Amino acid sequence: MPTFLCFTMEFIDLKSQQALIKDKIDARIQTVLAHGRYVLGPEVQEVEEVLAGRTGVKHCITTSSGTDSLLIALMALGVGHGDEVITVPYTWISTAEAIALLGAKPVFVDICEDTWNMNPGLLESAITKKTKAIMPVGIYGQPADMTSINRIANEHGIPVIEDAAQCYGAYHEGKPSGGLSEIGSTSFFPSKPLGCYGDGGALFTDDDELAEKMTQIRVHGQSAKHHHPVLGINGRFDSIQAAILLEKIAIFDEEIEQRNKVAQSYTKALESSSLKVQAPKVGAGNTSVWAQYTILSETPEELQGNLKAQGIPSVSYYSVPLHLQPVFTGLGYKNGDFPVTEKVSAQCLSLPMNPYLKKEEIETVAEALMN
């Protein structure tokens, strides 16, 4: 263990990435300043074309955030008061928030022991006549078991919205996340695997009708200037953010590769570790973009303290799962309802993960894990 730490390890490192592409980003921003079409300008169209291609879908509709994306998707499916939408309690609040904002009821099903994504085996029993959509999440970088979820959803004629805010860039059964169901949604919040320098998001679909609806909802339900056939929101994406995103997309695949290398180093260190921790597992048929490298420990606070003493930052995400959040008390859930979620919430610890971790930094984390 080094006596003097002469570096500060970044949990998420946006500075190194910026140093790499700053000139290109600057030039792109200057172009936007020159043309002056700040909202839904030509860069937005360009980003939508590039992302639709990457995702293997007909339509990409960028939005103002990942949360607004989910809201627009649900609105396009006509979700409203009295409806139910099935999702997971182990996710960022937005997933259930978007459902509740529309007056619909989030119905939770527990997650799998290995991937911490929606357990398809529990899905069928949560479906009722009121179920209007199923919204699985790809937590920490890998998609849910979309094959099984789609099969059950199709049998009941229920559309699936994939919340791919953390797993965009990953694959399931050889197909890109975002293009795995009726609608895919992602976020470009700066700390996501593919982020811009502010808020932003995107929706993906092959369905022409849904694409048109979502495009209208994004701009106040407008079909033509001053003509509003449906209720919408202000969900537009900024041209400067699209310009920045274009340069980030250009290096995204290399970054994913780097993230996988970091993950491999950590996993290898854990294999020869005496620590009682569970390493993350990538599900069969999946790849991961490693939004986070998260381990389970029975003593996460102690482990976090030990890591901190060695200059290693770590974070416990979603330590209070959604079914136990005060805002959702009205849903009537209680402690014990979702045992896997509750275990993962109590035990999880995410390690530094970014494509720009230096070799020495990865080794420092690996050594700390082996002790």
Residue 166 makes contact with ligand PLP by CB under 6 A = yes
Kindly state the tokens that stand for 218. Answer: 């994004």
Binding ligand PLP (rule: CB under 6 A), the pick from 87, 187, 265, 347 is 187
Least distance to ligand PLP from the beta carbon of 186, Å? 8
Residue 146 makes contact with ligand PLP by CB under 6 A = no
Does residue 72 contact residue 219 with C-beta atoms inside 8 Å? no
Q: What long-range pairs does 276-283 form, CB within 8 A, spacing at least 24?
A: 277/303, 277/369, 278/347, 280/140, 281/114, 281/115, 282/115, 282/142, 283/112, 283/114, 283/115, 283/117, 283/142, 283/145
Residue 94 makes contact with ligand PLP by CB under 6 A = yes
Least distance to ligand PLP from the beta carbon of 119, Å? 17
Binding ligand PLP (rule: CB under 6 A), the pick from 92, 204, 317, 338 is 92
Write the interaction track for ligand PLP spanning residues 20-59; mark x where CB under 6 A is met and - where it is not: ----------------------------------------
Q: How many Cβ atoms sit within 10 Å of the Cβ of residue 350?
A: 18
Least distance to ligand PLP from the beta carbon of 167, Å? 9
Beta-bridge mates of residue 137: 163
d(CA 121, CA 109): 10
Residue 84 makes contact with ligand PLP by CB under 6 A = no
Write the interaction track for ligand PLP spanning residues 96-135; mark x where CB under 6 A is met and - where it is not: ----------------------------------------
Number of residues forming the site for ligand PLP (CB under 6 A)? 15
Cβ proximity to ligand PLP: between 163 and 255 the closer is 163
User: Which of 196, 166, 366, 342 is CA-nearest to residue 271?
Assistant: 366
**Residues making up the chain, counted from first to last:** 371
User: Which of 5, 17, 110, 11 is CA-nearest to residue 350?
Assistant: 11
Binding ligand PLP (rule: CB under 6 A), the pick from 163, 182, 247, 342 is 163
Binding ligand PLP (rule: CB under 6 A), the pick from 17, 55, 95, 115 is 95
Residue 150 makes contact with ligand PLP by CB under 6 A = no
**Phi, psi for 363 (deg, rounded to 5):** -65, -40
Binding ligand PLP (rule: CB under 6 A), the pick from 84, 145, 199, 255 is 199
Cβ proximity to ligand PLP: between 60 and 137 the closer is 137
d(CA 134, CA 158): 7
Residue 74 makes contact with ligand PLP by CB under 6 A = no
List CB contacts of 1: < 8 A, sequence separation 6 or more. 310, 367
Kindly state the tokens that stand for 315. Answer: 């974070």
Binding ligand PLP (rule: CB under 6 A), the pick from 55, 62, 87, 91 is 91
Kindly state the tokens that stand for 268. Answer: 């290898």
Residue 350 makes contact with ligand PLP by CB under 6 A = no
Cβ proximity to ligand PLP: between 311 and 321 the closer is 321
Beta-bridge mates of residue 298: none
d(CA 325, CA 321): 7
Write the interaction track for ligand PLP spanning residues 52-71; mark x where CB under 6 A is met and - where it is not: -------------xxx----
- 3-state secondary structure string across 329-353: HHHCCCCCCCHHHHHHHHHEEEECC
Residues at the interface with ligand PLP (CB under 6 A):
65-67, 91-92, 94-95, 137, 163, 165-166, 187, 189, 199, 201
